[in-house]
Amino acid sequence: MQPTNHNIMQSGGVPIRLWTDGVPVEEQAREQLIKTSQMPFIYKWMAVMPDVHLGMGATIGSVIPTKEAIIPAAVGVDIGCGMMAVQTTLTANDLPDNLRGLRIELEKAIPHGRSATRGRGSNRDVGAWSNPDGTVKAGWTTLVDDFNYLCQKHPKLKNTNNLNHLGTLGTGNHFVEVCLDETNQVWIMLHSGSRGVGNAIGRYFIELAREDMRKWFINLPDKDLAYFAEGTEHFDDYWFAVGWAQRFAFKNREIMMENAIKALREVIAKPFEARVKAVNCHHNYVEKEEHYGEEVFITRKGAVRARVGEYGIIPGSMGAKSFIVKGKGNEESFCSCSHGAGRVMSRTEAKKQFTIADQITQTEGVECRKDAAVVDEIPAAYKDIDAVMHAQRDLVEVVHTLKQVVCVKG
């Protein structure tokens, strides 16, 4: 086993291993971790990444291994949220001097923000969806069929926005960026997940799990730790549904990336190749994996899988660096790494503390919105990405360092 650099916190449950050397961990997050660690089906220990902070349902930046049970609220409602990045053959010299036109073209190409819910596709029949160039994407028919099957068993899900958000970015910390790496090569990077339909699936099954706990008189340290036991009907349905949402999220990022590449071609006349290198990874999800000789469910709540040689993406804030990384396969972390810098304050607190002038200063050199609606995403609301990367130096190695020059926020 390779040398490792982390602390161990005893909790009254399984041990909690924290890769947080040099980065702050709020007390509320520690309390939330302790409650989760006391669940009887946690396997061996929990792993905590350096971007850790208090979350809804479970602590963001935590890796939760379970035997014969899954906690839906730990997976959360942004099921399959993750990152995609592609390297192009363009260099910094190929970009226009004024990047505002490129940002506007990206905003036109990819529905984003709350208006995306009323945008492209919102009135279309589920089975007839096609992307803007008129071709049905590979795997779409299977997604539709599987969603219809899910709705037959759980009709309430049919009354959501269904699949209408496919190809849309969303709100909050979701983004599309044009970045330059250490050799001034141009990359496109984006962050999004399963959108409204994943949210509906998450909320629906979280409530079902709570109902199961009430039905069986199971007392929990926190209602968000309601779970499904393997082999029960609701477990099987949730496993199917969460897998579907994760496939939807993966496809959503692929479609947005294709449209982002087209937007670049609209602005940049020079022919170029995209996908010279490409990474597409989840950081809010659950998978069945083998660890220490046993098959277990691994819930990564704001964490990326980092097996030996496996590529991942760790973004900083909209004014900082981001990283393309390669996993070192550290088993003590269940082969995981952080999913970003991690917040140091809530969105509400950020809006209280910072002004538009602060946002302008902290995003200098980045072509992005600089208004009141995005102050909650100000770089100072996030941890120092360099400290976060140092704390997980035994989990990943840096392959590329990216600096954004254009950022589209959801």
Q: Which residues are designated catalytic?
A: 339
405 touches 99 (CB < 8 A): yes
DSSP secondary structure string for all residues of 59-102: -EEEEEEESSEE-HHHH-SSTT-EEEEEEEEEEGGGS-S--HHH
Closest by CA position to 314, among listed 306, 323, 305, 302? 323
229 touches 68 (CB < 8 A): yes
Name the token pair of 23. Answer: 């980065």
d(CA 77, CA 196): 9
109 touches 262 (CB < 8 A): yes
Q: Which residues pair with 217 in a beta bridge?
A: none
Pairing of strands 7-9, 16-18: antiparallel
Give the H or E element holding residue 409.
strand 396-409
Instruction: Give the 3-state secondary structure of 99-156.
Output: CHHHHHHHHHHCCCCHHHHHCCCCCCCHHHCCCCCCCCCCCHHHHHHHHHHHHHHCHH
Pairing of strands 46-53, 16-18: parallel
Residue 61 contacts by C-beta under 8 Å, 6 or more apart in sequence?
Answer: 48, 49, 50, 51, 52, 53, 301, 302, 303, 338, 339, 342
321 touches 340 (CB < 8 A): no
Name the token pair of 373. Answer: 């609606």
Question: CB atoms < 10 A from the CB of 341, how many?
Answer: 26
Under DSSP, is residue 345 helix (H, G, I), strand (E, B) or coil? coil
Geometric angle at alpha carbon 318, from 306 and 381, rounded to 5°: 90
d(CA 18, CA 66): 18
